[in-house]
Amino acid sequence: MRPFLYERPTSVSAAIAMASRLDARNVAPTQAKTQFIAGGTNLADYMKLGVAQPERLLDLNELTEPALRQIKTDDDTIRFGALVRMGEAADNNDVRRRCPLLADSLKFAASGQLRNMASLAGNVLQRTRCEYFRETSWPCNKREPGSGCAAMQGVNRQHAVLGTSDACIATYHGDFAQALIALDAVVEVEGQRGPRKIPFASLHRLPGDTPNIETDLAADEVIVAIEVPLDPWSRRSRYLKIRDRESYAFALASAAVALEMDGNTVRQARIALGGVATVPWRARAAEDALRGNVLDDKIAAAAAEAAFADARPREHNAFKIPLGKRTLVRALLETRDMKV
């Protein structure tokens, strides 16, 4: 691991000023000399592996703004402070009652220990688990731009079938992000250029030719809150996660579903897919296929077909397409049948 300086800012503005001091403005946060750390579950791991090499860590756990550690709910929104831990949010009764999808996407992620450590903001920014990204002896366009992608011809069972490019097929493995993109969450950010709000769907960037640039954030920007609007479909919502083992594993395929029903007819649908795409993945074509239709096995299957119409499998991950479709069908039917 590269040696690093360690500092503990006590306010968001101080953290931003300290991050701005050393770094060029146009460096991706993951490549910046100064990086923020909160739970550390992802960054510390990648520092040990030599994948992340910050020269200076700014520990955000001493920030004193109370809102950073609070979950606030009113009639229209749930607002998660950035430093709220995953476990706390998963156990919040108000969150579970108002939007089971949010609570379950957190409950079925990682382990009890990791959920106690990981902050919500850090969780949505977690980096891929692609083995070729994690092991620095392999070429990887995400880790070393232009070096190539070992996963293309390698063992790519875990890799993405949606949102891929010729440069990168690494999966985005997070769960909470699928709930957030399905529910049109908004990310509140503060930085040297002032505060701004980013629609969750614009936070992550498709790999394209620059898989090393993973998000829309600048190196001196800090997520301070994640706001989730509460809508008529929030209560009838669910997260289904299919894994190699039943707990403590990343999704092979997952589905985040929220439905507003009028009897058996779908008034509104919100759908996102995990484990199968390079970024948090909103399945708008599937939503369109459902809207206005009676939700039965046939229309659920049609929605699943639409969701994976553009899927591009590699040698070992073609199974994710039928698995992803069946996961979505089951999630849709189970969400339809929820008592709310």
Partner 1 sequence: MSNSTSPSGLSRRTFMTGSVTAAAAMPLMATSPKAAELSPARAAEPRDLSTISLRINKQAYTLALDNRTSLLDALRDHVGLTGTKKGCDHGQCGACTVLVDGKRVLSCLSFAVMNQGREITTVEGLASADGELHPVQQAFVDHDAFQCGYCTPGQIVSAIGCIDEGHAGSEDDIREYMSGNLCRCAAYPNIVAAIIQARDEIRRA
Q: Phi/psi at 13 (nearest 5 deg)?
A: -65, -40
> Closer CB to partner 1, residue 127 or residue 270?
127
Minimum CB–partner distance for residue 244 and partner 1 (Å): 13
CA dihedral 247, 251, 252, 257 (to 10 degrees): 120
Q: Which residue has the tokens 């909160």?
A: 38
| Distance from C-alpha of 36 to C-alpha of 52, rounded to nearest angstrom | 12
> Closer CB to partner 1, residue 61 or residue 70?
61
Burial 17-36 (b: 16+ CB within 10 A, else e): ebbbeebeeeebbbbbbbbb
> Closer CB to partner 1, residue 205 or residue 243?
243
Minimum CB–partner distance for residue 184 and partner 1 (Å): 29
Start-to-end CA span in the chain (Å): 50
The residue type at 336: R
Minimum CB–partner distance for residue 6 and partner 1 (Å): 5
> Closer CB to partner 1, residue 128 or residue 234?
128
Pair of tokens at residue 5: 């300086």
Minimum CB–partner distance for residue 197 and partner 1 (Å): 29
Minimum CB–partner distance for residue 85 and partner 1 (Å): 8
> Closer CB to partner 1, residue 248 or residue 319?
248
Q: Is the CA virtual torsion 49, 50, 54, 56 positive or negative?
A: positive
Minimum CB–partner distance for residue 163 and partner 1 (Å): 26
> Closer CB to partner 1, residue 2 or residue 339?
2
Minimum CB–partner distance for residue 71 and partner 1 (Å): 17
Residues that bind partner 1 (CB under 8 A): 1-6, 37, 40-41, 44-45, 47-49, 55-57, 59, 61, 87, 91, 110-114, 116-117, 246-248
The string of DSSP codes covering 2-24 is ---EEE--SSHHHHHHHHHHHS-
Question: Which residues have a Cβ under 8 Å from the Cβ of 159 and sit 6 or more positions away?
Answer: 130, 151, 169, 170, 171, 314, 316, 317
> Closer CB to partner 1, residue 41 or residue 212?
41
